[in-house]
A = this chain, B = another copy of it.
Amino acid sequence: MRYGLIGSSGRMGKEIIETFKGHDLVLEVSDTGIFRHGEPEIIIDFSNREALKTAIEMAYQFGAGIVTGTTALNQSDIADLRRLAERVPVVQSFNFSTGINLLRMILKEYSSLLEEFEAEIIEVHHSAKKDAPSGTAIMLKESVGRDLPIHSVRTGGIPGDHRVFFANEGEVIEISHRVISRKVFAIGALKAAMFCAERENGFYSYEEVVRWMQKR
């Protein structure tokens, strides 16, 4: 695949380049500028709201699909992506790991049985991460299906821990996820890119990519 990368100088950028070996990096957008030497079929975006706008422009320009993991998006960003998705395939998620998506499925299914328990989320990320709570924690809270406190710890170089607690007077259940290496998101982004390669258009979450992967 010929691919473009938005946020190539960030932590995720390096992982994407390593994981997408064998594919053709024809476009790079980073702090240092825009470098293009070909037309991308798919654009991989792990940047920020501002750079995402550039990504969307380029998607229109080249008719390229977008796989975006940028967090801290607002309603208008999502609306822009949905509009683009009428033309090209778009996969948008706050978390491209298999583990978190399995946790979401478990929480969605068992939340009614866990109603008697009090619930909280603790999420831990590296100190450079500006947004809090994390996009992943917001997704997990939605899966639990009720309002609950999210505690955001920003410290050191931790890639991403999410811990969902259910407690009552006598016991505590914990359902957690820990990222060992950001490579796991790059692998998810690659799967999402392959998913897009088989589609004309549409707005998809990473959950649908996971389901598609299981049937293959």
Contact = CB atoms under 8 A, between A and B. Distances in A.
Interface string A101-122: 0110110011001100111101
Question: Chain A interface residue count: which class?
Answer: 35 or more
Secondary structure dominating the interface of A:
mixed
A136 to B, nearest CB: 12
Given A102-B113, A110-B106, A118-B155, A177 B167 contact: no
Contacts of A177: 171-174
Q: How many copies does the complex hold?
A: 4
Nearest to A102: B113
18 contacts: A99-B172, A102-B110, A103-B173, A106-B106, A127-B167, A151-B153, A155-B167, A156-B167, A157-B180, A169-B181, A169-B184, A170-B184, A171-B177, A171-B184, A172-B180, A174-B174, A174-B175, A174-B177
